[in-house]
């Protein structure tokens, strides 16, 4: 193995933004590729790509990550480029104005995607008047108003040593990696007045919302608030999610797509955050099937509440969940991301053996008891995206 995956993680995401800053974390991520005091935008990309490497970044609600995949001999040069981007970007005015247009086109792209539209609307329902309910990309008025001073101020506040985590996986010597990180990131400046103050989500909402768009299918999400990363029941929720939607043999696929032919795509999802989460079932279906599909989904929830899962089905879902975790470790990028998230959300590295033991310890009684608490019909909300008449 000659590959290395590097991730420089910043503990700041869209939920760290004020209303006036909506979208600045994502916009800043774009602008860090646009030039430093010593490298142009082209030179940044060329330095990585000319050696066969890959450079990218992504922004989430709670973190930003800058990623390089490279051969092991390019570890130092890649850390050099990443640290230069993160610590010495200059935000050229002409690049800033161009990138605003790029991001506004990205917004339009999302608005053209029914999947993106309904998940964005669902988030706004789950977290009304809260940063978690806003689109990560922000809004046209806020993005259009960003200036160099806004970016410099946000970088100074959020891109500080205590908010920076470097995760590396692959053919790398640990001591050498520590030495290189110290060399290239030690100039990061600290400010004493920038502790992370996250706005707590308000009371769990229940709501129903529908909107229309020029599309062929109806898109629906039935969902509720989920569980935080550190919630002791989170592994049970992941197990229930696997029972419902772990593949083509799982309950939702079998009982709604295979039995009735009501959809092509149906899936359950469980997203966790620092202090909360979301759970839901998404489906794309014909408008005439919506009422029956809704009933069938709730029937699946009711079955989990009323009937213990068989030992065979539970064992199959355990093997499914463990297998996906283990297979993911064949990717250096996945290893790097799991390592980083473990430290960000748990302050330590949680081994695969620990996770496997947690999964293996779940019993049919655990699934039943959890489902009876979690799948209360009156806590579920519904979001519909309907074809225009």
DSSP per residue, 16-85: G--GGGTTHHHHHHHHTTSBBSS-BHHHHHHHHHTTT-EEEEEE-SS-EEEEEEEEGGGHHHHHHHHHHH
Answer whether residue 197 is part of any domain: no
Question: Which of these ranges, 48-52, 186-190, 286-290, 354-358, has the smallest mean pLDDT?
Answer: 186-190
- Does 29 qualify as catalytic in the annotation? yes
CATH code for the domain of 170:
3.30.830.10
Domain that holds residue 144: 3-185
Answer whether residue 201 is part of any domain: no
Q: 236 with 364, same domain?
A: yes
Residue 192 confidence class, pLDDT cut points 50, 70, 90: low
pLDDT, position 107: 98
pLDDT average, residue stretch 295-313: 98
Q: 232 with 171, same domain?
A: no
pLDDT average, residue stretch 262-288: 97
Q: 248 with 117, same domain?
A: no
Residue 81 confidence class, pLDDT cut points 50, 70, 90: very high
pLDDT (tens digit, 9 = 90+) per residue, 111-128? 999 999 999 999 999 999
Q: 236 with 381, same domain?
A: yes
Q: Higher confidence at residue 214 or residue 188?
A: 214
Residue 174 confidence class, pLDDT cut points 50, 70, 90: very high
Answer whether residue 312 is part of any domain: yes
Asked if pLDDT for residue 338 goes beyond 90, the answer is yes
- Which alpha helices (H) appear in the chain, and where do they start and end? 24-31, 41-49, 75-88, 93-111, 114-126, 140-144, 148-158, 174-185, 234-245, 251-252, 290-306, 311-328, 332-346, 352-360, 364-374
pLDDT average, residue stretch 65-88: 98
Residue 189 confidence class, pLDDT cut points 50, 70, 90: confident
Answer whether residue 352 is part of any domain: yes
pLDDT, position 365: 98
Q: 164 with 250, same domain?
A: no
Q: 231 with 115, same domain?
A: no
Q: Phi and psi of 61, rounded to 5°? A: -70, -30
The token duo for 58 is 């992504």
Asked if pLDDT for residue 213 goes beyond 90, the answer is yes
Based on its alpha-carbon atoms, the radius of gyration of the chain, rounded to whole angstroms, reads 22
Catalytic site residue from 17, 29, 300, 382:
29
Asked if pLDDT for residue 197 goes beyond 90, the answer is no
Asked if pLDDT for residue 194 goes beyond 70, the answer is no
pLDDT, position 348: 96
Answer whether residue 194 is part of any domain: no
Q: What percent of the chain has pLDDT over 90?
A: 94
Asked if pLDDT for residue 202 goes beyond 90, the answer is no
Using DSSP, state whether 238 is helix, strand or coil. Answer: helix
Residue 200 confidence class, pLDDT cut points 50, 70, 90: confident
Answer whether residue 359 is part of any domain: yes
Asked if pLDDT for residue 204 goes beyond 90, the answer is no
> Could you give the number of structural domains in the chain?
2
Q: Higher confidence at residue 187 or residue 294?
A: 294
- Sequence length of the chain is 389
Q: What is the pTM of this model?
A: 0.95
Asked if pLDDT for residue 51 goes beyond 70, the answer is yes
Answer whether residue 150 is part of any domain: yes
């Amino acid at each position: 193995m000659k590959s290395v995956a590097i991730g420089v993680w910043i503990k700041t995401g869209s939920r760290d933004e004020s209303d006036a800053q909506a979208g600045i974390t994502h916009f800043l991520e774009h602008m860090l590729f646009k030039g430093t005091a010593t490298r142009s935008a082209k030179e940044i990309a060329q330095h990585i790509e000319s050696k066969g490497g890959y450079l990218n970044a992504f922004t989430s609600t709670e973190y930003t990550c800058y990623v390089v995949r490279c051969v092991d001999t390019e570890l130092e040069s890649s850390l050099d480029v990443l640290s230069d981007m993160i610590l010495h970007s200059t935000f050229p005015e002409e690049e800033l104005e161009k990138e605003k247009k790029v991001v506004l086109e990205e917004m339009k792209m999302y608005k053209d995607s029914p999947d993106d539209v309904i998940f964005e609307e669902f988030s706004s329902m789950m977290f009304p008047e809260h940063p978690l309910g806003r689109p990560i990309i922000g809004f046209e008025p806020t993005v259009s108003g960003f200036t160099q001073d806004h970016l410099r101020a946000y970088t100074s506040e959020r891109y500080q040593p205590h908010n920076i985590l470097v995760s590396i996986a692959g053919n790398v010597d640990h001591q050498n990696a520590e030495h290189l990180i110290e060399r290239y990131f030690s100039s990061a400046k600290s400010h004493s007045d920038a502790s992370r103050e996250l706005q707590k989500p308000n009371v769990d909402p229940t709501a129903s919302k529908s909107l229309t768009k020029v599309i062929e299918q109806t898109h629906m999400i039935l969902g509720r608030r989920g569980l935080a990363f550190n919630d002791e029941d989170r592994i049970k929720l992941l197990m229930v999610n696997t029972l419902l939607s772990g593949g083509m043999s799982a309950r939702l696929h079998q009982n709604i797509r295979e039995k009735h032919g009501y959809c092509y795509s149906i899936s359950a999802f469980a997203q966790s955050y620092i202090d909360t989460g979301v759970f839901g079932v998404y489906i794309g279906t014909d408008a005439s099937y919506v009422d029956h599909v809704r009933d069938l989904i709730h029937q699946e929830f009711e079955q989990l509440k009323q009937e213990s899962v068989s030992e065979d089905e539970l064992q199959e879902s355990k093997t499914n969940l463990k297998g996906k975790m283990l297979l993911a470790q064949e990717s250096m990028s996945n290893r790097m991301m799991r390592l980083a998230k473990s430290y960000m959300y748990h302050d330590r590295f949680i081994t695969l053996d620990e996770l496997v033991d947690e999964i293996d310890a779940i019993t049919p009684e655990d699934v039943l008891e959890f489902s009876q608490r979690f799948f209360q019909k009156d806590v579920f909300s519904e979001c519909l995206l309907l074809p225009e008449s």
